[in-house]
Amino acid sequence: MEGFKPSKFGVEEHAASAYPLEGRHAAVPCAKCHIPAGTATLYRVKHDECWNCHADIHKGQFAGLPYNNHCQSCHTVTEFTPSTFPLTRHGKTRFPLTGAHIAVPCGDCHQAKKPLEASLPAPYRFKDLSCTECHTDPHNGQFAERMRTVGTNGGPVGCEACHSTKAWSDNVRFDHSTTTFPLIGTHRAVSCTNCHKPPNLELTMKNVVFKAAPTQCEGCHDDPHASQFANGGRSPGCADCHNTNKWKPSLFDHETRTDFPLKGAHQNVPCGGCHKLIREVQNKPVLFYKPTPKECAACHGSGKPSQTTGVTPE
């Protein structure tokens, strides 16, 4: 009797309609859904889909299967954020979250890139799912060739040639034997940074130029022989007489590489029995293998100790 306005029709009465006001809708002013137009005010508002009243903030990204823009797939009237799209559902997308990605906030991946795309909706579709879509290459392209190698899914392996999502420093996948310098012998136990020295005393290998590591032994190891094996200008490589297992004993074969074979009585004579010539080179004592006399008398004959070897013949 007091008037037609306001009506007695409140949230409670609304519950009897085909559209009970639940969750956040209970606090929404009537006029937001029933836009006042006098007698033309519409009460039987369409409500099959949330988008009957809510703008599609995702701009059609979920318009296709399996969602068909059915907002209820991911939202309730309680709130839009967070969605009802937890990690378990993410596991069924084209991009399951693994390793370090599990702890990354949703919005770090699903945000418009600034400033160019700031006006665009948060992206839930990526044209490329490879790591480089979101991560920049700190290696300055030095692995371009390796990254082009075709992986099991037929595409280029990209960063995954070496990395997983576990951690960047976790190089489980890098197989050093695929380089021209396989790690064999003692090199297997040598830490990466001993060969791949970070520039400017940095602590990580971020700015290392990996291919810059020398592949010849002498590039990393000092020659303790003071270049005595140089022959006609050509120094034989360390690898001529050594492998990566150990320096001593060497692989030097006295039979084929000298014209003084160690046969018979000399077979078990220690190297040091004949090679004693030590000279100082840059303040370091260096054992010189030449000259060593070849004549019997030089070591055995004169009755006096040999000048070169110090051996006193019998």
State which of residues 9, 96, 209, 310 lies at the interface with ligand HEC (CB under 6 A).
9
The verdict on 281 binding ligand HEC (CB under 6 A) reads: no
Q: Which residues between 21 and 60 bind ligand HEC (CB under 6 A)? A: 21, 24-25, 28, 30, 32-34, 43-45, 47, 50-54, 56-58
Distance from C-alpha of 257 to C-alpha of 224, rounded to nearest angstrom: 20
The verdict on 100 binding ligand HEC (CB under 6 A) reads: yes
Residue pair 235/227 in contact by the 8 Å Cβ criterion? yes
The verdict on 293 binding ligand HEC (CB under 6 A) reads: yes
Exposure b/e, 294-310, CB count within 10 A at least 16 = b: eeeebbeeeeeebebbe
Pick 85 or 281: Cβ nearer ligand HEC: 85
Q: By C-alpha distance, which of 254, 261, 298 is closest to 277?
A: 298
The verdict on 101 binding ligand HEC (CB under 6 A) reads: yes
Q: How far is the CB of 297 from ligand HEC (least distance, A)?
A: 8
Residue pair 243/185 in contact by the 8 Å Cβ criterion? yes
State which of residues 4, 65, 108, 255 lies at the interface with ligand HEC (CB under 6 A).
108
- List all residues 6 or more positions away from 247 whose beta carbon is below 8 Å from its beta carbon: none
The verdict on 81 binding ligand HEC (CB under 6 A) reads: yes
The verdict on 126 binding ligand HEC (CB under 6 A) reads: yes
- List all residues 6 or more positions away from 101 whose beta carbon is below 8 Å from its beta carbon: 109, 165
Q: By C-alpha distance, which of 140, 177, 174, 169 is closest to 157?
A: 174
Q: Which residues between 151 and 210 bind ligand HEC (CB under 6 A)? A: 158-165, 167-169, 171, 174, 176, 179-181, 183, 186-187, 190, 192, 194-196, 204-206, 210
The verdict on 69 binding ligand HEC (CB under 6 A) reads: yes
Distance from C-alpha of 157 to C-alpha of 267, rounded to nearest angstrom: 56
State which of residues 113, 148, 254, 284 lies at the interface with ligand HEC (CB under 6 A).
254
